[in-house]
């Protein structure tokens, strides 16, 4: 999968696409797989990098949603639990079975959460990841030794899925390409093409070369998450906003704050939410928040900033439950994401299926938004059903329930640094075999070899140092300081592969450093 090849395909493959998808996050990528695997001529364009938006900033859970169960949203939980099971089958290299502990400090919490989580097990049926059970205090502390033991009565153990969101996105892009789809990152939609009031395609601009394109398509799908309103307004300038973005942040700490393999779920925070502390790539990620925000422009939608109050809230909440309180100086990285929540006033609703929203405009633009990572496949199936009808395409059933995701491999050893490459691990090892210098790590504190960067450039459409350190590897999220220090070495490796000069390397390192500093709290740069 190379960008040059994709650009060639854009020019030569077809004069008119069946389906053109705007947005390369979970929703758009899932849609590209669904459409391409049905045999439709499919193009996806992403203004930045795949998963640059919300889809690289999640809590990394493939879950039914214990919170939605608390809210009584049975339909959503059942659907998400089914999707959790399907994703684990179709991407076993990316989805792990993660045990969670709900610590109990009050007498009623054990029976209350115990029963709730039994219902959760029961709803997952044969796709369950393991039975939940009540733990006494000793068992709870054996699994989570740094939980505050004072007043602890016991805990409830349950299972959910955990994944690497941006890595799944990259593997989804590869899967869509294998199914015959054409996918382009750094290709922004700047306008819509219309004839007699009907949508006929999009105008796009290559962000790397500045070249403009007119792309004809039988139907256009707007899968741009929190950017949906901008596309809706390109279609109808007076369109009311349908998105109410809500920000969630995560803090990343050293694993010593929560050693062991279990995650912790705080079931009721001061603001009435749940808070997670989850082991991830040998670090702990803690979050999240739910802060309504009104970003003013594209740049602040693309790179939301954690607020001081949010950082303090997560630090204080997690600190209440751990023996060793993490402080600001312990933060390895802080990342923020925006939930594309749909306002109650959304009109033209074609399908308000559980928590995702699909609408069709008068000109024929199909917009899909809301939902969650876990349900991306079902969202894609629903929107392709609607879009195919809209475009008058031959009816074909979705095949994605059984479709293996690129990298599929059974018997993955989750203790290795590169497990999430699945079947691609062999390719990375072959690079090292041919050039042993590529075994060297890009930074002593980061678990990534030089070979993973070369692999990303050769096979994963990695175009910038940020792509390499944020979404092909997860260095920026795991340790922002180490990522900044690794940037020059990564730029040099990429320049070698991409035939770029010193000026490119310098510009890339500067841009990445400026960005990565935003992933550290202001006072500890
Ligand atoms: C804090 C937080 C935690 C979460 N945790 C979980 C979790 O643990 N599990 C779970 O299942 N879900 C979780 N979610 C939800 C999940 O992350 C989102 O539902 C999902 O990522 C949304 O994907 P999307 O593709 O709709 O949007 P996005 O990922 O934002 O993708 C939209 C894309 O469209 C592109 N775009 C915009 N305008 C244009 C244009 N003009 N031309 C071309 N491209 C354009 C953007 O650059 C962007 O990449 C979480 C969300 C948040 C915010």
Is residue 277 within 8 Å of residue 283, measured between CB atoms?
no
Is residue 134 within 8 Å of residue 110, measured between CB atoms?
yes
* CA dist., res. 511 & res. 465, Å (int): 9
Q: How far is the CA of 327 from the centre of ligand 1 (A)?
A: 29
pLDDT of residue 344: 72
The answer to whether the CB of 132 is under 6 A from ligand 1 is no
Which among 54, 84, 212 is the best mutation to test ligand 1's pocket, defined by most ligand atoms within 8 Å of the CB? 54
pLDDT of residue 524: 63
The answer to whether the CB of 373 is under 6 A from ligand 1 is yes
User: Which residues in the chain come in under a pLDDT of 70?
Assistant: 345-354, 523-525
Q: Are strands 42-45 and 283-287 parallel, antiparallel or unpaired?
A: unpaired
pLDDT of residue 475: 98
Is residue 191 within 8 Å of residue 477, measured between CB atoms?
no
Kind plus residue range of the DSSP H or E element containing 327: none
> In 3D, which of 421, 473, 474, 396 has the Cα closest to residue 179?
396
> In 3D, which of 340, 335, 341 has the Cα closest to residue 314?
335
* CA dist., res. 90 & res. 266, Å (int): 30
- Put residue 413 in one of left, alpha, beta given phi > 0 → left and psi -120 to 50 → alpha: beta
pLDDT of residue 351: 42
List the helix and strand counts (H, then E) for the chain. Answer: 17, 19
pLDDT of residue 70: 77
CA distances from 401 to 185, 281, 389 (A): 26, 28, 21
* CA dist., res. 194 & res. 14, Å (int): 19
Write out the DSSP string of 106-126. STTHHHHHHHHHHHHHHHHGG
The answer to whether the CB of 84 is under 6 A from ligand 1 is no
| Ligand 1 atom nearest 338 alpha carbon | 53
The answer to whether the CB of 380 is under 6 A from ligand 1 is no
* CA dist., res. 140 & res. 104, Å (int): 9
Residue showing tokens 């939410």:
273
Stated pTM of the model: 0.97
Q: What angle do CA 353, 41, 206 make, to 5 degrees?
A: 95
Which among 58, 184, 291 is the best mutation to test ligand 1's pocket, defined by most ligand atoms within 8 Å of the CB? 58
* CA dist., res. 81 & res. 102, Å (int): 19
pLDDT of residue 74: 86
Strands (E), 5-151: 17-22, 42-45, 61-62, 96-104, 133-136
Which among 56, 85, 227, 229 is the best mutation to test ligand 1's pocket, defined by most ligand atoms within 8 Å of the CB? 227
* Alpha helix stretches (DSSP H) within 161-279: 165-178, 228-235
Q: What angle do CA 340, 353, 18 make, to 5 degrees?
A: 80
The answer to whether the CB of 48 is under 6 A from ligand 1 is yes
Query: Residue 337 CB: number of other CB atoms within 10 A?
Result: 24
* CA dist., res. 476 & res. 453, Å (int): 14
Helix axes 502-517, 480-498, angle to 10 degrees: 160
pLDDT of residue 525: 59
């Amino acid at each position: 999968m190379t960008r040059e090849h994709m650009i060639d395909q854009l020019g030569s493959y077809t004069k008119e696409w069946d389906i053109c998808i705007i947005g390369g996050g979970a929703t758009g990528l899932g849609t590209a797989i669904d459409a391409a695997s049905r045999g439709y001529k499919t193009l996806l364009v992403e203004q930045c990098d795949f998963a640059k938006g919300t889809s690289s900033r999640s809590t990394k859970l493939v879950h039914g949603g214990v919170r939605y169960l608390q809210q009584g949203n049975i339909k959503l939980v059942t659907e998400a639990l089914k999707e959790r099971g399907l994703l684990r089958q179709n991407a076993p290299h990316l989805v792990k079975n993660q045990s969670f502990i709900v610590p109990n400090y009050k007498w009623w919490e054990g029976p209350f959460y115990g029963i709730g989580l039994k219902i959760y097990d029961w709803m997952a049926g044969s796709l369950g990841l393991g039975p939940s059970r009540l733990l006494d205090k000793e068992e709870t502390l054996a699994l989570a030794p740094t939980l505050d033991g004072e007043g602890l009565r016991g805990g409830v153990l349950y299972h959910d899925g955990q994944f690497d969101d941006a890595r799944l996105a990259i593997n989804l892009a590869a899967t869509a390409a294998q199914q015959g789809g054409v996918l382009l990152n750094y290709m922004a939609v700047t306008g819509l093409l219309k004839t007699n009031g009907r949508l006929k395609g999009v105008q796009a601009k290559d962000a790397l070369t500045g070249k403009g394109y007119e792309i004809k398509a039988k139907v256009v799908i707007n899968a741009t998450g929190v950017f949906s309103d901008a596309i809706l307004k390109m279609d109808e300038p007076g369109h009311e906003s349908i998105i109410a973005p809500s920000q969630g942040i995560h803090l990343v700490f050293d694993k010593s704050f929560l050693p062991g393999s279990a995650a912790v779920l705080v079931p009721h925070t001061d603001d009435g939410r749940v808070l997670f502390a989850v082991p991830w790539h040998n670090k702990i990620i803690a979050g999240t928040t739910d802060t309504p925000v009104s970003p003013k422009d594209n740049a602040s939608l693309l790179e939301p900033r954690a607020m001081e109050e949010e950082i303090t809230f997560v630090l204080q909440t997690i600190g209440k439950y751990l023996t060793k309180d993490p402080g600001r100086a312990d933060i390895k990285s802080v990342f923020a994401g925006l939930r594309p929540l749909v306002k109650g006033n959304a009109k033209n609703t074609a399908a308000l299926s559980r928590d995702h929203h699909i609408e069709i405009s008068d000109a024929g633009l199909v917009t899909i938004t809301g939902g969650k990572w876990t349900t991306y496949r079902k969202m894609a199936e629903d929107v392709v059903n609607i879009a195919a009808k809209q475009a008058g395409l031959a009816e074909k059933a979705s095949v994605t329930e059984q479709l293996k995701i690129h990298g599929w491999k059974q018997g993955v050893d989750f203790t290795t640094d590169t497990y999430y490459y699945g079947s691609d691990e062999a390719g990375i090892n072959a690079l090292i075999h041919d050039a042993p210098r590529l075994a060297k790590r890009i930074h002593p504190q980061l678990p990534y070899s030089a070979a993973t960067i070369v692999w990303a450039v050769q096979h994963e459409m990695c175009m910038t140092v940020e792509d390499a350190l944020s979404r092909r590897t997860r260095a920026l999220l795991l340790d922002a300081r180490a990522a900044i220090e690794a940037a020059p070495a990564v730029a040099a490796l990429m320049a070698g592969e991409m035939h770029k000069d010193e000026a490119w390397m310098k510009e890339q390192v500067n841009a990445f450093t400026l960005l990565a500093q935003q992933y550290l709290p202001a006072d500890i740069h």
